[in-house]
């Protein structure tokens, strides 16, 4: 199952829209610091809340929400999936014509595997425990792993919002694609991520995608801790699309 390519006349100044898919809890708020940074660089950005608290909603329903938020045809579209959002973003890239898929500190699904099985199949627990020991952290303290490099004011704002609800429903059903979508894919990883450590991500990405991991400074929530740096990295991916356009004269 692959997306159908759109063939349009594009120029170097054709705008890029970044479709930002949040991770567990499904809150568009996660991207609120990144969006103005992208717009300052001349791009547009689309965010959405996913039905993460709905026991009836699985990845297919999450993907439908994202598909409904996609911009109209005519510009470049880059779908970015953060953490668990990588599972949904990949479905979107398979079901709509997009130009690039960017996985950010993300889970990489495998056909037939449930997201619930992903944790054991990838060796997550061992990697997480080893990383926690390296930093002297409690491996059960997920919030410390998430927020260790997030500025205090942003962390307090997140705490005031409360923990977003995330049902187990999306983790119970097999990932529905038969193969990876035929879309250029980049994997961007924070080298300071204490939840999905860099070496762990490099191993799963090599095994499951056969591509290299692009690194940047920052932890698991780089959109909150380093929004300007993240915007610069996404801007560089948009520049790749421009160069490809110049080289081929057509949209991939």
Task: Give me the long-range contacts of 226-231 (CB less than 8 A, separation at least 24).
Answer: 226/149, 226/190, 227/33, 227/34, 227/37, 228/37, 230/34, 230/37, 230/104, 231/34, 231/37, 231/38, 231/40, 231/41
Q: Which tokens sit at 75?
A: 């510009």
Query: pLDDT digit string (tens) for 201-226?
Result: 999 999 999 999 999 999 999 999 99
Rounded to two decimals, what is the model's pTM? 0.93
The rounded mean pLDDT for the chain is 93
Count CA within 13 A, CB hemisphere, residue 157.
11
Q: 15 pLDDT band (50/70/90 cuts)?
A: confident
pLDDT computed for residue 5 by the predictor: 41
| Residue 11 pLDDT level (bands cut at 50, 70, 90) | low
Dump pLDDT digits (tens) for 145-175.
999 999 999 999 999 999 999 999 999 999 9
pLDDT tens sequence across 30-86: 999 999 999 999 999 999 999 999 999 999 999 999 999 999 877 899 999 999 999
Burial class (CB in 10 A: 0-12, 13-18, 19+), 249: exposed
Nearest of 73, 109, 76, 75 to residue 91 by alpha carbon:
109
pLDDT at residue 75, rounded to an integer? 84
The average pLDDT across 225-244 equals: 95
- Percentage with pLDDT > 70 across the chain: 93
Neighbours of 31 (CB within 10 A): 24
DSSP designation for 46? E
> Which pLDDT band, with edges at 50, 70 and 90, does 7 fall under?
very low
């Amino acid at each position: 199952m692959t997306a159908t390519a759109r063939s349009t006349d594009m120029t170097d100044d054709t705008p890029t829209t970044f479709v930002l898919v949040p991770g567990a809890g499904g809150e568009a708020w996660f991207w609120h610091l990144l969006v103005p940074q992208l717009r300052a660089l001349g791009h547009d950005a689309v965010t959405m809340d996913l039905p993460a608290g709905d026991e009836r909603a699985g990845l297919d329903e999450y993907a439908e929400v994202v598909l409904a938020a996609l911009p109209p045809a005519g510009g470049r579209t880059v779908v970015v999936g953060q953490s668990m959002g990588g599972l949904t973003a990949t479905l979107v890239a398979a079901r709509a014509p997009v130009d690039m898929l960017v996985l950010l500190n993300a889970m990489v699904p495998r056909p037939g595997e449930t997201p619930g099985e992903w944790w054991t199949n990838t060796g997550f627990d061992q990697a997480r425990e080893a990383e926690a020991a390296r930093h002297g952290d409690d491996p059960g303290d997920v919030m410390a792993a998430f927020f260790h490099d997030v500025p205090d004011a942003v962390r307090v704002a997140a705490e005031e919002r409360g923990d977003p609800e995330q049902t187990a429903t999306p983790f119970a059903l097999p990932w529905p694609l038969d193969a990876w979508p035929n879309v250029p894919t980049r994997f961007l990883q924070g080298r300071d991520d204490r939840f999905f450590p860099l070496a762990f991500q490099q191993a799963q990405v090599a095994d499951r995608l056969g591509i290299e991991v692009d690194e940047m400074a920052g932890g698991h929530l780089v959109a909150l801790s380093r929004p300007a740096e993240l915007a610069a990295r996404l801007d560089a991916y948009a520049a790749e699309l421009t160069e490809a356009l110049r080289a081929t004269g057509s949209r991939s």
